[in-house]
């Protein structure tokens, strides 16, 4: 089994098209009997179009929203975890000082994501806002998004690296700490961090562990390839952990310290090169 992150790992640094070499390597791995798992922080509707041209099997497992939702590429449900409504509501005032909070619901269409100020978020992640605008609804105050009792799959707040590390500390020291998981994705060169808030116990690694148990696989039979801190739990679970060289600098440093493999960058088809090596060894 090989679990692979999308942004910064499978995708190049610019554009939203998986390279021909990466596509071929993934298809060849599946044909050789290796189960490919795609694990992303993106929600399913935002990630699926990137994978459609790759040509993976419909039964390929797709871990989305950093591990809160797991389905096949064909849409077959496997796992889903929700933030309790009262937990989500309590997060609103706690996170408000750190910027615009977004909550994601596991449905498609307008209102799939809710926030208080589209304009405020646009200034920080304009491309994301434009790509997702049809699914976003403004609700003021944000607490009212839960008036109908629907629970979200995750929350998200983004801002500067140090600011979001402060938000992460705030959450860790709050009464919410035992009710949630916080996973950050850092882009130091852009001074941008996305801090995802998930139901307790959720991560890419936890989702991968459940799949491995269902398949009867041990960590020694699993490889994980990632680039950022939201990949940490799956990298730690896998028997062979691979971090692409363009990854978050302090994660790359950690990988070296732990003697994990450092692959070529995403722009050098690092995923394909690693998989090609596995297939060559098997042959």
Closest alpha carbon to 4 in 166, 167, 244: 244
Dihedral sign, CA of 27, 33, 38, 44? positive
CATH number at residue 240: 3.40.50.1000
Q: What is the pLDDT of residue 122?
A: 75
| Gap between the Cα atoms of 252 and 241, Å rounded | 11
Q: How far apart are CA 263 and CA 242, in angstroms?
A: 6
Would you tell me the crossing angle of helices 270-282 and 20-31 to the nearest 10 degrees?
Answer: 30
What domain range includes position 240? Answer: 2-80+202-282
Residue finishing a domain among 199, 215, 233: 199
pLDDT over 70 (residue 15): yes
Domain co-membership, 106 together with 178: yes
Question: What pLDDT is attached to residue 126?
Answer: 87
d(CA 165, CA 276): 37
pLDDT digits (tens, 9 = 90+) for 90-142: 999 999 999 899 999 998 889 999 999 988 887 778 888 898 999 999 999 99
Percentage of the chain surpassing pLDDT 90?
90
Q: What are the backbone dihedrals phi and psi of residue 55, each rounded to the nearest 5 degrees, phi first? A: 90, 25
**For residue 174, what are the contacts with CB-CB under 8 A and spacing of at least 6?**
94
Distance of CA 251 to the CA centre of its chain: 16
When divided into structural domains, the chain yields a total of 2
Judged on CB neighbours under 10 Å (0-12, 13-18, 19+), 201 is exposed
For the stretch 188-219, pLDDT in tens is 888 999 999 999 999 999 999 999 999 999 99
The answer on 193 and 94 residing in a single domain is yes
Question: In the listed set 164, 199, 234, which residue is the last one of a domain according to the structure?
Answer: 199
- What's the farthest any 2 CA atoms get from each other in the chain? 59
67 and 93 share one domain: no
């Amino acid at each position: 089994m090989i679990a692979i992150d999308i942004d910064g790992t499978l995708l190049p640094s610019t554009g939203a098209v998986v390279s021909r070499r990466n596509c071929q390597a993934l298809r060849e791995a599946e044909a050789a009997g290796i189960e490919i798992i795609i694990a992303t922080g993106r929600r399913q509707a935002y990630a699926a179009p990137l994978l459609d041209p790759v040509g993976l099997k419909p039964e390929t497992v797709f871990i989305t929203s950093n591990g809160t939702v797991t389905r096949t590429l064909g849409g077959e449900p496997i796992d889903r975890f929700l933030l309790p409504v009262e937990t989500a509501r309590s997060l609103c005032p706690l996170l408000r000082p750190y910027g615009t909070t977004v909550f994601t619901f596991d449905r498609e269409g307008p209102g799939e994501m809710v926030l208080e100020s589209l304009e405020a978020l646009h200034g920080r992640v304009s491309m994301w806002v434009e790509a997702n605008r049809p699914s976003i609804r403004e609700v003021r105050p944000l607490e009212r998004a839960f008036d109908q009792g629907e629970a979200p799959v995750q929350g998200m707040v983004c801002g500067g690296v140090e600011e979001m590390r402060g938000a992460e500390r705030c959450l860790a020291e709050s009464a919410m700490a035992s009710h949630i998981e916080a996973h950050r994705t850092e882009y130091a060169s852009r001074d941008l961090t996305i801090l995802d808030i998930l139901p307790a116990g959720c991560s890419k690694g936890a989702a991968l562990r459940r799949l491995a148990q269902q398949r009867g696989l041990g960590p020694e039979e699993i490889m994980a390839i990632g680039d950022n801190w939201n990949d940490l739990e799956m990298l730690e679970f896998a028997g062979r952990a691979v971090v692409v060289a363009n990854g978050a600098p302090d994660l790359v440093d950690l990988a070296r310290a732990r003697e994990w493999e450092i692959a070529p960058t995403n722009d050098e088809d690092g995923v394909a090169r690693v998989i090609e090596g596995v297939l060559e060894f098997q042959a």
